[in-house]
Chain A
Amino acid sequence: MILETIKSQKITFEQKVVALARLAEGSIEVLNKSDALKKYIEDGIICDLFEGNAPYRPRYIVPDYNVFMEQGSKFLNIEKPTNIWEAVHGLLILYKHVPSITTMPVYLGNIDYLLEPFIKDENEAYLAIKLFLKHIDSTITDSFCHANIGPKETKAGILILRAMRELELPTPNLTIKYTEETTDKISIEAIKTALVTAKPSFANDKMFREDFNGEYGIVSCYNGLKVGGGANTLVRVRLGALSKLANSKEEFLEKVLPEVSKEMLEYIDERSRFIIEESGFYESSFLIKEGLLEKEKFTGLFGFVGLAECVNNLLGATDKKERFGYSEEANNLALKIVETMHNIIANHKTKYAGEFFGNTHLLHSQVGIDTDRNESPGCRIPVGEEPEIFEHIVQSAPFHQYCPSGIGDIFVFDETYKSNPEAILDIIKGAFETNLRFFSLYSDTCDVVRVTGYLVKRSEIEKLDKGEQVLRDTTILGKGARDNAKALGRKLRSE
């Protein structure tokens, strides 16, 4: 494996370094795993999403970049910025020192608010922002890297949207926090940008702000986390595969699901324990020392995929009318399953989840990985089975309350919406009123498309199809998701 990685011509130098580090980490065993857990892992029911055997940094880190803008950084020898160039320069330096599971930062901050105080001359600011974004795309070569804007309209926000529309780059991913305060002007700009380059997504600010009691960041795919904190680990269960262990829905709810949840929670604790107590991250990182992060704002994520397959299996539903997304019985059973997991997690108090979270982990509707087959993302209706958009939203919304750390649906609109972006805003407003948490969109003509949560360029996947090297490792994941999960075959919304 090591030699193979070294000799590979399909991956870049950077990708080799990361792969080799993973191999090194994988060569030791430091975590305590129960036999039951090992069996679940072997059977592909529980998986830690390639986090490695010896975690030495939290999976998702959500620094409070405001602190940096206020005080600069002693460790990095950077002064508090005084103009737009110093601001983007300082941030770009800092980003290189924010670790994560991918080795690259998954959160870049509310970049509009960070830059707004420095917007004096708009032409100059536009140039600075464009270079900033281009720099991020070319050096943080992984589109789990996510920036936020909003909810208030800012000059910087509008410039960022304009620049993204012009650049059509997959990184960084972008979300606009949307609330009643968000103006229609910036919302329409956001929709126009999304119809060209598949971002930003829309986050229901009110819901997130309530769940996180104030500032939160949208990171990686669509994960809500506390600013100044993050998530140590994300372990997930494949509900579709798990459902095959039960003979009835009662058995599933009362026995199979609680059992696997217990193992999951212990494993999340164990991984977190190693990071917190043994890896030295919380003692040595300058991000902690300089106040950008606080251990008490970290939690662990309990992820799941394949709710649709799970419910359809348990009900033996083959006819469309009986399946998840259509039948009331199936939808109710699905809700019951999610609620059960939510309660189990809420009752599991642990010292490995921060005080901010009342010492509990969070439920996360996970989007899946490139090798998944027969497991739809989180609570989503399988690609190809989507109902009409109105029914789709109303069906999805009830699940969103249970997953504060992330859940979302993706809608593909046809070109006609480009001449009426207000129509999409009306749909988003209604969706949020229905308590949908997160809404992503793109148009069928975009080169940049959203795969499950992250973004890829179709043209780059084509390069990969031909065996050429590509800059971003997420392109490789996108190709897998397209091939294995039809992720690019979503229902087109037209009229």
Chain B
Amino acid sequence: MKLTGKINRIIKFSNVDGPGNRMAIFFQGCNFNCDYCHNPETINICKKCYACISKCPTSALLKNEMGNIVWNEKLCCECDECIKSCGFNSSPKVKEYSIDDLLESISKVKSFIKGITVSGGESTLHYKFITKLFIEVKKRWPNLTCFVDTNGGVNLQDENYREFVENTDSFMLDVKAWEKNEHLELTSKNVDIVIENLYFLRDIGKLFEVRSVVVSEKLNNKLTVESVSKAIGKKDIRYKIIKYRQFGVREEKKEKLFSPKDEELKELAKLAEENGVKNTLII
């Protein structure tokens, strides 16, 4: 069977997904379930309950003979009613792409970008598809770089991922919390593998940046920043300290999450610098 990938969205030009201007490809499905997820509709693969179909005001959603939901992009007015009505953190606006489909999209913008970045959801869940894609991209356009944006939840040292890691130029890794229980509570997954991946990617020279989202009161942000910066300090790895913002977050989760003050972020950035991180960025 032809390999395809479930893709939630493609941004032709992105300036926040790695170095330079990049095409960012967002895959559907995630192995985490973070309280502060800004795109919760990317977490699950649609379970075909069809609840969203009747909510669509422009009849852009249909059920085909196979029982799959077909999304007609041309009719869609982007009202997001379907996403709001999905109680399952999924979206019917997901498209199956073949490697060739993606190569064609890349070829249109190839002169304008430094490379491509796969993101999610969680991109590593699609590592087989992505490995093939990266190999093809490098064959055709050797000057384009291939980046992976990951939550670090799969063990990248595992033999299964060897080819995938080899063909990835660099990773961008989230370290959402350092403390075990905190990470478990926030994401529903253990932090051990994430930390192992941090050291592993650092040591093989394939870590472009680490990111931590700062949430006031709920997280021990200081511990996280301190530990991460000690791990990556003195290396040429960027640390992005991200301010938690409510935008896009699930209603029921909002009440327990608080945005930090700018001073707190500045202090954390200072801490990172003291631990040797040369390039910290607050966003």
Q: Which residues of A contact B (CB under 8 A)?
A: 388-390, 393, 416-417, 419-420, 422-427, 429-431, 433-434, 493, 495
Is B16 within 8 A of A427, CB to CB? no
Q: Which residue of B lies closest to A393 (CB)?
A: B112
A423 to B15, CA, bound (A): 6
Tell me if B12 is interfacial: C-beta within 8 Å of chain A.
yes
Contacts of B14 in A (CB 8 A): 423, 495
Is A431 within 8 A of B16, CB to CB? no
Kindly supply a per-residue 1/0 record for chain B positions 240-273, scoring 1 wherever the CB is within 8 Å of any chain A CB and 0 otherwise.
Answer: 0000000000000000000000000000000000
Q: Which of B13, B19, B114 has the most CB of A within 10 A?
A: B13
Tell me if B64 is interfacial: C-beta within 8 Å of chain A.
no
Contacts of B1 in A (CB 8 A): none
Q: Given A423-B20, A430-B113 in contact, is the A389-B283 Cβ separation under 8 Å?
A: no
Q: Tally chain B residues at the interface, Cβ within 8 Å.
A: 18
Is B15 within 8 A of A420, CB to CB? yes
Smallest CB–CB gap between A342 and chain B, Å?
Answer: 26
Q: Which residue of B lies closest to A494 (CB)?
A: B15
Tell me if B281 is interfacial: C-beta within 8 Å of chain A.
yes
Is B13 within 8 A of A427, CB to CB? yes
Smallest CB–CB gap between B74 and chain A, Å?
Answer: 10
Q: Which residue of B lies closest to A431 (CB)?
A: B112
Q: Which residues of B contact A (CB under 8 A)?
A: 11-16, 19-22, 108-109, 111-114, 281, 283
A493 to B114, CA, bound (A): 18
A429 to B20, CA, bound (A): 12
Contacts of B21 in A (CB 8 A): 422-424, 426-427
Q: Given A420-B16, A422-B21 in contact, is the A495-B11 Cβ separation under 8 Å?
A: yes
What are 15 A-B contacts with C-beta separation under 8 Å? A416-B283, A419-B283, A420-B15, A420-B16, A420-B19, A422-B19, A423-B14, A425-B20, A426-B21, A426-B113, A426-B114, A429-B112, A433-B111, A493-B13, A495-B14
- Determine the main DSSP class of B at the interface with A: mixed
A94 to B7, CA, bound (A): 62
A495 to B112, CA, bound (A): 15
Q: Which residue of A lies closest to B282 (CB)?
A: A419
Contacts of A425 in B (CB 8 A): 20
6 additional contacts, CB 8 Å, given A416-B15, A419-B283, A427-B112? A388-B13, A389-B13, A417-B15, A420-B15, A423-B22, A430-B109
A429 to B113, CA, bound (A): 9
Contacts of B19 in A (CB 8 A): 420, 422
Is B111 within 8 A of A434, CB to CB? yes
Is B112 within 8 A of A416, CB to CB? no
A301 to B40, CA, bound (A): 57
Q: Which residue of A lies closest to B108 (CB)?
A: A390
Smallest CB–CB gap between A356 and chain B, Å?
Answer: 33
Q: Given A420-B20, A424-B21, A427-B21 in contact, is the A388-B15 Cβ separation under 8 Å?
A: no
Is A495 within 8 A of B20, CB to CB? no
Contacts of A427 in B (CB 8 A): 13, 21, 112
A429 to B14, CA, bound (A): 16
Q: Which residue of A lies closest to B14 (CB)?
A: A495
Q: Which residue of B lies closest to A394 (CB)?
A: B108
A422 to B112, CA, bound (A): 11
A11 to B21, CA, bound (A): 45
Q: Given A422-B19, A423-B20 in contact, is the A495-B13 Cβ separation under 8 Å?
A: yes
